[in-house]
Amino acid sequence: MTRPAPLVVKLGGALLDDATQFPQVFDALARMHQLHTGGLVIVHGGGKAVDRQLERVGLHTERREGIRITPPEAVEQVTAVLAGAMNTQLLGLLLSRGVSAVGLTLSDGHLSRAIKTQRFDFDPGRVGELVGGDGALIHHLLSGGFLPVLSSIAVCEAGGLLNVNADDAAAQLAGILKAQGLLLLTDVPGVKDADGQVIAELSSLAAEALINDGTITGGMIAKVRGAIDAAERSNVPVVIASWSNPAALEALASGASIGTKVLPKTQCTATAHDTTGAFAAADTGVVNL
């Protein structure tokens, strides 16, 4: 019998700046891992912690199009924070709640193949993107009841370290794992329209239009495009939502709608006005959490 597909959850924003101050969020994640038949896979960044470490060692931080420019002299510092201190802290928060969490990078067990990204018209330095991989290790861990927690660090085929934007990493990982869905947890309640109101649903075409007209800007561009990419790869909706309301996360586990749901093209017509649940998609075999 085929094991149910997992839910990929990406953590970001102020939650990671001082994760110990938000115990209810990790209570909710622990509960979601227990409730969801396929289990959770967590992917995290840690932008502010990386900023502080680079400042300590006298390295300047620059971002363009929502991406951290990562020169060779900075990538080891980024790795130390994300794959070291940050990942271990998150493991501790989950382990203390009885969750069998396991810390990994994006390259452990050939989970992903990474290359230096070619997506931009500028050189971002040691920034990577995932171009495929093998999810066998993650599925093996999930089958044993473990919760994989992945930092957004990868190793390219030539052996060098790569800093992968965590939103992009989560999106690509959802495709590699054929995940049931992707939940992007951040410090904003969802994608906002020109009037500052959260948009309940977005098609990929509508999202690109909002990027092109300047409604969606800065770091949200990477979040939305990551959501579009994951939706198209896995043919399931992707939700961008805030971690600041743990009760809503518990409701999500029961099928409630929160944040902004980004729909894959194949579901845009059939579910344009769907309100039956954040990950409802009857025609693809996807079930509510």
Q: Which residues are catalytic?
A: 10, 13, 47, 167, 223
- Reference 273, options 283, 259, 263; nearest CA is 263
Backbone angles phi, psi at 28, to 5 degrees: -65, -40
Cβ proximity of 73 and 209 under 8 Å: no
- Show Cβ contacts of residue 65 under 8 Å, excluding neighbours closer than 6 positions: 120, 221, 222
Cβ proximity of 151 and 111 under 8 Å: no
Cβ proximity of 184 and 239 under 8 Å: yes
Structure tokens given for 170: 């989560």
* DSSP string across 25-60: HHHHHHHHHHHSTT-EEEEE--HHHHHHHHHHTT--
CA distances from 17 to 50, 51, 69, 242, 289 (A): 10, 11, 20, 15, 28
Using the 8-state DSSP alphabet, how is residue 257 labeled? -
Cα separation, 3 vs 173, whole angstroms? 17
Cβ proximity of 240 and 200 under 8 Å: no
